[in-house]
Chain A
């Protein structure tokens, strides 16, 4: 029963498809579409652009100027891009160099040396200060010969 039902549906479909295949829809008026399309094309070609006079320059010099300005703006854009790139590259290099200096073992030694130099300088300065401090005591010691030296220490 099911098979029979399917066959009849299949047959009906086949019949409809065959009928549609054999009967092509026909255009009643063969001039209508070409006429309408040609008219539309003419309208499109004569239609003024929305940009107005600027889009259709009649003056040759204006066209040249437009193109020159376009080319110049493109060149400027490229130049700006190149400059920006080179600056960024330099900054990156500098940053890398700075960071490598900070982490390099030699830099630690250099820092220590610098510290030790500072220490030496401060010691020296202290010594000189002491010396300066000692000088009046010396003079004092000379002045007061009887007094023991250890009392003159700061």
Chain B
């Protein structure tokens, strides 16, 4: 893939739209997954990816060839997603009962059954809705997207310690939220 990129990027810089389409086809799925996990909304994620790719086309000259292209691209896509996230912060609250129903359908060992986008969106919104922006992004990139700490640092422009502390606080907040819901559930039952 890296060798292909080495050929594609100079063509894109010289204005080859076909080469850019090839690049988009190659990277649209991971870009969409990232945007979707940040936003928890399919249409918004598609819009963020489109916006991100337009920015990539316009700013491809600023990409340093020696650096990892995916990190540079993810940075642009995540920035577009963050901008949209700020606008759509007021998403409806997802209750734990709804999440429990979804969780009930999938056992942790079941690798064959796939969740659809609506169910993924529900879980993402449930986990990240109340978190501060930085904690949410670090948690999504590190825990859900499974990125290395160094890559998260590059994408978000944060130091190692900031990433660590945000991840710690993010996890803690989510755990406390689930605890509270368990407690409420027990009291009601």
Encode contact with B along A21-32: 1 for CB under 8 Å, 0 otherwise: 111111100101
Quick check: is B99 within 8 A (CB to CB) of the other chain?
A: yes
Quick check: is A17 within 8 A (CB to CB) of the other chain?
A: yes
- A9 with B54: CB separation less than 8 A: no
Give the segment of B78-86, B111-119, B155-163 that binds chain A. Answer: B111-119
Give the segment of B67-75, B130-138, B173-181 that binds chain A. Answer: B173-181
Quick check: is B63 within 8 A (CB to CB) of the other chain?
A: no
Q: Which residue of A lies closest to B45 (CB)?
A: A25
For B, the interface residue count at a CB cutoff of 8 angstroms equals: 45
For A, the interface residue count at a CB cutoff of 8 angstroms equals: 31
Interface SS majority for chain A: helix
Cα-based distance from A54 to B133 in the complex (angstroms): 44
- A34 with B24: CB separation less than 8 A: yes
Residues facing A in B26-85 (CB within 8 A) are 28-29, 32-33, 36-37, 42, 45-46, 49-50, 53-54, 57
**Chain B residues in 8 Å Cβ range of A8:** 182
**Chain A residues in 8 Å Cβ range of B183:** 5
A8 to chain B, nearest CB (A): 6
- B54 with A41: CB separation less than 8 A: yes
- A17 with B50: CB separation less than 8 A: no
A142 to chain B, nearest CB (A): 112
- B178 with A33: CB separation less than 8 A: no
- A41 with B57: CB separation less than 8 A: yes
Quick check: is A10 within 8 A (CB to CB) of the other chain?
A: yes
- B50 with A19: CB separation less than 8 A: no
Kindly identify which residue among B17, B124, B143, B178 contacts A41, using a CB–CB cutoff of 8 Å: B17
Quick check: is B150 within 8 A (CB to CB) of the other chain?
A: no
Question: B-side interface residues toward A, CB under 8 Å?
Answer: 17, 20-21, 24-25, 28-29, 32-33, 36-37, 42, 45-46, 49-50, 53-54, 57, 99, 103, 106, 108, 111, 114-115, 117, 119-121, 123-124, 126-127, 143-144, 146, 171, 174-176, 178-179, 182-183
